[in-house]
Structure 1
Amino acid sequence: MTTKMALLYGSIGMIMMIPSAAQAQQTAAEDSGSSVGIPEIVVTAQKRAENIQKVPATITALGAEALETRQITDVVALQSQVPGLVVGETFGASLISLRGISTGVTSGAEDPSVATHINGVYQPRSRTIDSALADLERVEVLAGPQGTLYGRNATAGVINYILKRPGDSLQGEVTGSVGNYETLGIKGRISGPLSDNIRLLVSGVYENRDKGFTKNLAPGAPQSRLQTNRIAGGRAALDVDLPGGAEIQLDAIYLDSKSTPTTVAFGASQEAFIQPVLNPQSFRPFEVYSNYRSLDRTKYLQFIATINIPLSDNVDLRSITGYQRFRNHLRLDGDASATAIVESDIRFRSNTFSQEFNLNASLFDDKLKSIVGLFYYNDKFNHKGNSPFDTSAIFPTSSAFNFSVEGPIKGESYSVFTDHTYSVTDRLRLQAGIRYNHDKKTAATNVIFDGFDVCPAPPASKSWNSWTPRFGAQYDVADNSMLYAQYTKGFKAGGFAASSCMDDFEPEKITGVEVGFKAKFLDNRVMFNIAGFSYRIKDLQVQKVVDVGTLVVDNAARAKVYGVEASLQAQLAEHLRLDASGVVQSAKYDDFLNCNQLLFIGACGAFDPRTGADRLSDASGNRLNRAPPYTANVGLEYDVMLNGGGKILLRGESLFSGRVDYAEFPSPGSRQKPYSLQNAFLSYTSPGDRFVLRGYVKNIANKAYKSGYLFFPATRQDTGQWAPPRTFGAEATVKF
């Protein structure tokens, strides 16, 4: 028996042995008569409201109070709460990996492996995700392929952001914050009724980190600190109740962010003749030599219209319409040195429209729960990038030239899907669903090399069709424990790399099996979930930088992922709570021949003297990018009830991660050794919840670890980004 099958079957066997113990513990707990326990968590993961313990899938859900207490202010912070979640950064974009399946493509127009939604609207650009985090009601993270209900680009999973709705009474709050690195912020929200059937919410946020994490050591540098950040934005939400129980929910979201990203060097150039040109360089964390003014400016506008119409007591129709306008200007020093060799100035813009219809029904005395849906998506993306390249610093007889790429890429998709859950008995339920998806991408890219068009290829178009089914079963072995098994497929669209000469790549497809157990024990004082999973991936999309800075995308023929994920929540005492989760996995390339740019100059470019199969190296057996063999999260909370009704809450938590490889051909610079992080939080809530004071320290030990990697062929060097160092601060909230 292979190691993979032993691990998977071993986890299934362990799952199968749990129910009898769970049922015995549950019976004993019921006899105790205690009413203390973990409250019910309701999620909308299957596009209908359900108890999280009744959903046959691995889900991490965080409510508003947990998000505020744990200072979840960006998608990176979710890593300390979600097992198997790894968030990296390259070129200012967030690259999300879940259960070893990674989004590693950053040229702008490609699709992610983890689909992100805000109030049900798909987010095509990773830089827009944080627009939802200032006004959150709940975050749900679904692990594993979600191709049936969520369609394209959910091969690794889904992150759902659900925003707060207007209240029935006038209420509001204002929060001021302060932190190290000269961080100041303010945010606020007010909501209430405008009439008997109309409610309004208005919120805003401003935060400025004026002192960046990274020190620029270059004399006379245009910016002495890099990784500064400023965010300003707001939201308006309007709810309108219509006759017959229908409702309209409108949202308008605006975000204006400005940061100073940096590329740092993890080690010296591989070429001895290039090293003196780049000197001086710093290879220490949070230090860089840069002579170029850095900028990452994003302006983002989104409109969402959701209409809910009850057609009968058991049938509801929902329409979700989304429009997004995205503008981004990125300036980055690519060589991580004070020498003017390669800099990039890129502008992105896109306009995206989406429309979804869902028909939800509960039939045959609630035995059959069904959904039928239609989805349409249209994305118009354009970019223009310039990269001046001064080779005279390396080759004195040469001269400077300019490399630029520009052109539109259009994406269009439509799909129809249906999914059903049927209760065969009070304890046994069966699931079946399928989705048909049609995708089309069109590109017309121009590559200009020092004034000459080196990419005369005409506009091109490619389209793909996919069927992504789901089959499953779940069985209640006791009132509060359930076994389930699921078979699913996922699909990630192909396309054209935005910064290359019409480089096209094929869709990524995944087939997955998951077997899990969910239970609450001891009068709901303990909630324990465990799942074993196995995935087969075909044509995994992998990015590579070649020549001066062209981003191309290759398809790894096959990859395999398998592992076990578990989570635990426990009420240890009346005021003491424990939460823990983790994943152990194997994620490797099963069949992948690709050029290895580490071998020599031009090994993956137009000047490679090798031809055909001789150009390829074997990455089979190597770990997938951003796929650590284990991650674990542990948190402990204790609250103290004060005389008069106030409360103090203390929380400590740790994140543990195994080694991360950032490239299919690993090198010392592309690896992050195993590491752990610790965070601490303290909050005081006054009687009546009118005032809240919070303090926090993240990355207490000031651990330096990599969050992004790129082998830069122009300087033959390992480059990337460091994750944030130790941060601490405090905030005060006044509610009215």
Structure 2
Amino acid sequence: MKIGKAFLLGATALSAAFICLPAIAAEAEVDTQESEANNTGIQDIVVTAQRRGENLQKVPIAVTAFSGEALETRGLTDPQSLEGAVPSLTMSRQATSNFPYLRGIGSQAGAGVDEASVATYIDGFYIASNLSNQYGFNNLERIEVLKGPQGTLFGRNATGGVIQLITKEPSQEFKGNFNAGYGNYQTVDFDGYITGGITPELAADLAVQYHDQNEGFGRNLVTGNDVYKQWDYAIRSKWVYSGDSTKLTFFINHEKLQSNGLLNRLTPESLAAKGLTEIGRFNFASYKDPWQRSRKVYLGFRVEQDLGFANLISSTFYANNNQIYASTTDTQQSTIVYRPTDATDSARDKSKQFSQEFQLLGNAESRLQWQMGAYVFRFKSDTILSLQDPFRAPNPIVFGSAKTSSFALYGQATYEIVPDVKLTGGFRYSWDEYKTFDSRTSIPSLGLDIAAPDRKANFGKPTWRLGIDYQMTPDILGYISYNRGVKSGGFSIYAQTAPGYAPEVLDAYEAGLKTQLFQRAVRFNIAGFYYDYKNLQVQVILPGGAASQILNAATARVYGLDADFEVVPFENFTISGGFGILDAKYIDFPGAPVVGADGVRTIINAGGNRMVNAPKFSGSISATYVVPTQIGEFRVNGSVSHKGLSWATPGNILPFNAYTLLNATIGWTSSDGRFGVDLWGRNLTDKVYYGFRIESPFGHSQMDAPPRTYGVRLKAKF
């Protein structure tokens, strides 16, 4: 196995740290005792990365976590903003979905039935559909990003990692907060949260959120209408009953969204190939405006029963997603007169999900910590796809339905073999059935309706975790682990006669350190990793461009380093951030299709090319300074994030150029904490970058990321 210089250097640094850290253990332990005595330093964060509450610094997994307060301070309100704060995380935006990539592992498969390679969980419930991850929350307790395959405890399609959103627990105390804001582009925001006790054992909360951007970033020069506008709202409620040995939790989530920013503009290179020029960064010329409407409903119910020797947990979840959109590709960007020659990609996706999980968690206070469980999953999606393109008749309409059924058994145990040294072993086996049915292609212009055969496939794959960790001091943890992750195989819903694709398998080797030093004024966590990747699933555009297909790339390998840090150099001043160094390449990828800027399609072996959405370097730094005064507390936060060059497709001819973003917030909170005001700005330098780029039958298309935005937010608490 050939390992590059960067990985060797990283492994050497980690090994040296393992050797040297015990030498400073005594000093670190003294620092810890002094910190605890003075109650100063960085506060602990409790995470559920191993499906139970634990101190972040005691968990032998690479995790980046943000408290609700930190999310608000840094303005991390949606998936796109989250990528600027988490090393090695990239959020690719395609039409109506956000596609997370962690350490180069992800998926851009955009049909409603397709699942991501980085799993999303809300309050411990798995959210299957790629169309469900345009989330924005105002009631978050914290966000956890788990890096690397989490195949044992999370299992389903957590090949690249897991993003966990944990909402606030209702309180017996009656309290709440309301925020109202106004920003450029005539943007109005409002959110509120209230909670309180219903009975001595029952508490509930209600969270509401409203966003209305009434002025678009650009205009359709044919229709004269604004584009890149968005309106959405969400209502969420959680109810918790806490008895002597029983806890019941019920939550409901309802969201609606409308936007008209689903515009695929040709890149400058593709325009040049057609002899055309751009007509503005967010402008376009088409006889139709793009649009999107979506609705999401989630219901979750959890029962937790204390059995004495263990906790028994039952988790039941239901999700319903409904989305319809029309995404326009402007092929005549130099023309501003009516001309019905642009392609409109329209689709409708309906999906329903049901899952049931049973967990048995052993008492965490013994030397042996264990848990086991069973998981049942059902997912059904109905899809309609239509491409209306005057130059590519006969413009078929594709109908299809797909269903996934899965069952899994799993268990994991951690045993303290000698004081401060723990050995972990976990195993999971999943049985998956994937089938497509009621598939057909309709060609109205020719009077044809062609039925496709039903397809069915069964997959059974194991995943596992092996690890050892050493608590060198109360504030220094070292660990080594080997994990296998698997993403299930299936069929491409749009390529109705294509053969299926096999499960992808990722073997991950990781070594890491978690440290808190200098009286807990410094928290620094670092991990080095190496991935062997087989049967990598990659989405490619089919000939003619009317649909896409998922293929298995032969092999790939990934290695790198990522780190998080937080420093409190003096009282009221905090610096935090992180970085990721990544080398991700296809080893062998025969038959990889490549579409040039002129729309010409060729076939290559992409072996040796860099994997998509895998920048060699990404990093961020944020600083917050708090100034207490007699009239209240003033707070200044500034953050800078950088994303290096990466590629949008396996052919490595369509780049995401490197970019740097600057965000800032200036705020004031009254002395009693009841009132406040924030002035905020995002992308203050108005950097041009892209949320998504793709090969298309017209050449290369792209979706622009938001420009500079700014505004004011008024806050009140009671």
TM-score (norm 2): 0.94
Q: What is the CA-CA distance between 1:336 and the residue it aligns to? A: 4.4
Q: What is the CA-CA distance between 1:573 and the residue it aligns to? A: 0.5
Summarize deviations over 1:668-688 as a string: whole Å, max 9, x none.
xx2122221111112212122
1:238-387 maps to which residues of 2 (within 5 A)? 238-242=239-243, 244-260=244-260, 261-269=262-270, 275=274, 282=278, 284-312=280-308, 314-337=309-332, 339-362=340-363, 366-387=366-387
1:7-22 maps to which residues of 2 (within 5 A)? 7-20=9-22, 22=24
1:477 to 442, 452, 472: 472
Structure 1: how far apart are the matches of 2:48 and 2:470?
20
CA contact (8 A) 1:335 1:341 kept: yes
CA contact (8 A) 1:8 1:562 kept: no
Q: What is the CA-CA distance between 1:510 and the residue it aligns to? A: 0.4
Q: Which moved more, 1:543-552 or 1:470-479?
A: 543-552
Q: What is the CA-CA distance between 1:30 and the residue it aligns to? A: 5.2
Aligned pair in 2 of structure 1 residues 190, 451: CA closer, same or farther (>3 Å)? Answer: farther
Structure 2: how far apart are the matches of 1:88 and 1:600?
20
1:25-424 maps to which residues of 2 (within 5 A)? 25-27=27-29, 29=31, 34-131=38-135, 133-216=137-220, 218-221=221-224, 224-242=225-243, 244-260=244-260, 261-269=262-270, 275=274, 282=278, 284-312=280-308, 314-337=309-332, 339-362=340-363, 366-391=366-391, 400-424=393-417
CA contact (8 A) 1:265 1:288 kept: no
CA contact (8 A) 2:508 2:532 kept: yes
Corresponding residue of 1:459: 454
Structure 2: how far apart are the matches of 1:148 and 1:454?
44
Q: Which moved more, 1:687-696 or 1:594-603?
A: 594-603
* Secondary structure of 1:219 counterpart: coil
Structure 1: how far apart are the matches of 2:676 and 2:331?
43
1:534 to 513, 530, 534: 530
Aligned pair in 2 of structure 1 residues 566, 368: CA closer, same or farther (>3 Å)? Answer: same
Aligned pair in 2 of structure 1 residues 71, 78: CA closer, same or farther (>3 Å)? Answer: same
Structure 2: how far apart are the matches of 1:632 and 1:474?
27
1:668-707 maps to which residues of 2 (within 5 A)? 670-707=654-691
Structure 1: how far apart are the matches of 2:562 and 2:23?
20
Corresponding residue of 1:628: 615
Structure 2: how far apart are the matches of 1:427 and 1:371?
20
Aligned pair in 2 of structure 1 residues 185, 621: CA closer, same or farther (>3 Å)? Answer: same
CA contact (8 A) 1:136 1:163 kept: yes
1:653-732 maps to which residues of 2 (within 5 A)? 653-667=639-653, 670-713=654-697, 715=698, 717-732=699-714
CA contact (8 A) 2:97 2:133 kept: no
- Paired AA for residue 47 in structure 2: V
Structure 2: how far apart are the matches of 1:467 and 1:10?
32
Q: What is the CA-CA distance between 1:286 and the residue it aligns to? A: 2.1
Q: What is the CA-CA distance between 1:226 and the residue it aligns to? A: 1.5
Aligned pair in 2 of structure 1 residues 452, 144: CA closer, same or farther (>3 Å)? Answer: farther
Q: What is the CA-CA distance between 1:35 and the residue it aligns to? A: 3.8
Corresponding residue of 1:592: 589
* Secondary structure of 1:296 counterpart: strand
Q: What is the CA-CA distance between 1:594 and the residue it aligns to? A: 2.1
* Secondary structure of 2:185 counterpart: coil
Q: What is the CA-CA distance between 1:284 and the residue it aligns to? A: 4.8
Aligned pair in 2 of structure 1 residues 502, 171: CA closer, same or farther (>3 Å)? Answer: farther
Structure 2: how far apart are the matches of 1:452 and 1:23?
78
* Percent identity between the two aligned chains: 28
Aligned pair in 2 of structure 1 residues 600, 282: CA closer, same or farther (>3 Å)? Answer: closer
Q: What is the CA-CA distance between 1:131 and the residue it aligns to? A: 4.0
Aligned pair in 2 of structure 1 residues 325, 628: CA closer, same or farther (>3 Å)? Answer: same
Summarize deviations over 1:542-597 as a string: whole Å, max 9, x none.
11112132111111110100001112111110111111210111001011012433
CA contact (8 A) 1:81 1:633 kept: yes
Structure 1: how far apart are the matches of 2:559 and 2:675?
47
Structure 1: how far apart are the matches of 2:357 and 2:594?
43
Q: What is the CA-CA distance between 1:356 and the residue it aligns to? A: 1.0
- Paired AA for residue 687 in structure 2: K
2:463 to 468, 491, 494: 468
Q: What is the CA-CA distance between 1:107 and the residue it aligns to? A: 2.6
Q: What is the CA-CA distance between 1:267 and the residue it aligns to? A: 2.4
Q: Which moved more, 1:685-694 or 1:282-291?
A: 282-291
Unpaired stretches in structure 1, ≥5 consecutive residues: 393-399, 605-614
Matched, 1:447 2:441: yes
Q: What is the CA-CA distance between 1:452 and the residue it aligns to? A: 5.8
- Paired AA for residue 422 in structure 2: R
Structure 2: how far apart are the matches of 1:18 and 1:103?
40
Structure 1: how far apart are the matches of 2:356 and 2:514?
34
Structure 2: how far apart are the matches of 1:385 and 1:730?
41
- Paired AA for residue 324 in structure 2: H
- Paired AA for residue 64 in structure 2: T
Summarize deviations over 1:219-265 as a string: whole Å, max 9, x none.
334xx2211111112012111223x3201111011000001121111
Q: What is the CA-CA distance between 1:599 and the residue it aligns to? A: 6.0
Corresponding residue of 2:580: 583
CA contact (8 A) 1:88 1:96 kept: yes
Structure 1: how far apart are the matches of 2:709 and 2:27?
42
Corresponding residue of 1:551: 548
Q: What is the CA-CA distance between 1:192 and the residue it aligns to? A: 0.6
Structure 2: how far apart are the matches of 1:212 and 1:270?
23
- Paired AA for residue 645 in structure 2: R
Q: What is the CA-CA distance between 1:451 and the residue it aligns to? A: 4.5
Corresponding residue of 1:525: 521
Q: What is the CA-CA distance between 1:128 and the residue it aligns to? A: 2.4
Matched, 1:493 2:480: no
Aligned pair in 2 of structure 1 residues 144, 22: CA closer, same or farther (>3 Å)? Answer: farther
Aligned pair in 2 of structure 1 residues 473, 652: CA closer, same or farther (>3 Å)? Answer: same
* Secondary structure of 1:495 counterpart: coil
Structure 2: how far apart are the matches of 1:625 and 1:600?
18
* Secondary structure of 1:16 counterpart: helix
CA contact (8 A) 1:84 1:100 kept: yes
CA contact (8 A) 1:389 1:403 kept: no
Structure 2: how far apart are the matches of 1:698 and 1:269?
30
CA contact (8 A) 2:331 2:343 kept: no
Aligned pair in 2 of structure 1 residues 30, 65: CA closer, same or farther (>3 Å)? Answer: closer
1:495-510 maps to which residues of 2 (within 5 A)? 495-503=490-498, 504-510=500-506
Q: How many residues align?
A: 703
Aligned pair in 2 of structure 1 residues 311, 342: CA closer, same or farther (>3 Å)? Answer: same
Structure 1: how far apart are the matches of 2:569 and 2:269?
51
- Paired AA for residue 718 in structure 1: H
Corresponding residue of 2:335: none
Q: Which moved more, 1:102-111 or 1:521-530?
A: 102-111
Q: What is the CA-CA distance between 1:22 and the residue it aligns to? A: 4.3
Structure 2: how far apart are the matches of 1:602 and 1:283?
21
